[in-house]
Structures are given as C-alpha cells and as structure tokens.
A = this chain, B = another copy of it.
C-alpha cells in the first residue's frame, strides 16, 4: 500500500507523461485493478471492481481509461466476437488459451522461438510486421472433465 521504488502508480504516471496525458485517480484505479488480476476482465467487470475502490467512476470513463492504457502500451485489448472485449494488463510476451465451453481465457507462458518469428516475417511479404498474437482454442480442465467426450469435436 505504501510507496515502493517504482510503484504501479509510478509506472502509470511515467507512461502517461511519455504520451502527453495526465495522471488521474480514475486511470490509476483502472490500471491497478488490471495489474492485480490474471483474469481478463471486460470493461464492465473493470467498472464493477473499480467502483468499490474509487468512490466515483463512470462506465464511460472506464472505457476511456482502458483505451488510454492500450494507447500507452500498458494493456492489451482482446476480442473474441462473443460479447464484450476483454483487457489484459500483462504486457510481457505471452499467449492466451480460450476455453470454447466456458469462454474463460488462460495465460500461457512463453513466446515463439525467434527463428519462427523470422520465418513469419519472411512469409508475410510486403507486410511490415511489428507484433503478433497467438491464441490457443480448446477446453480448460474443468470443462473437459464435465464432458462425455462427444461434444469435443468442433475446434
């Protein structure tokens, strides 16, 4: 709770200033929550969690703050076409695994080996690659257990 060397708030303040934006309590609360969870919350979930932390914040501000964080490279927006976008506060390289049954998203450590990344750069001719995103699909252990095995056909 106290101030450490380079607290979460400091990281945010620095990133915001680098992008010519101001540090506000609302943005800090959103950022703190994102950093504190390995869930991948929707804007609405962030809103519900953060409103307990900060007395007042509106959903619109949460949307704006999240967009600001993404713009500063402090968060990543994930979409799956099933309802709402999700936000990930982890900025170190990692992958995601999404359960096709319960839609939860799990982190998977690691990155592709650099030679594979080079290979991809080469294959994407005429395209200047700056990043990539890898998502596994399948079934989490919980959902896999509660299945007979017959429904697990569609990838």
Contacts and interface: CB of A to CB of B under 8 A. Distances in A.
Interface of A: 71, 73, 77-81, 85, 95, 97, 99-100, 106, 108-110, 112-113, 116, 120, 123-124, 126-141, 144, 152, 154-155
Contacts of A136: 120, 124, 127, 129, 131-132
A152 B130 contact: yes
A22 to B, nearest CB: 19
B128 A152 contact: yes
A155 B130 contact: yes
Contacts of A79: 79-81
A136 B121 CA distance: 9
B138 A120 contact: no
Given A120-B136, A127-B140, 4 more contacts: A99-B127, A129-B137, A129-B138, A131-B136
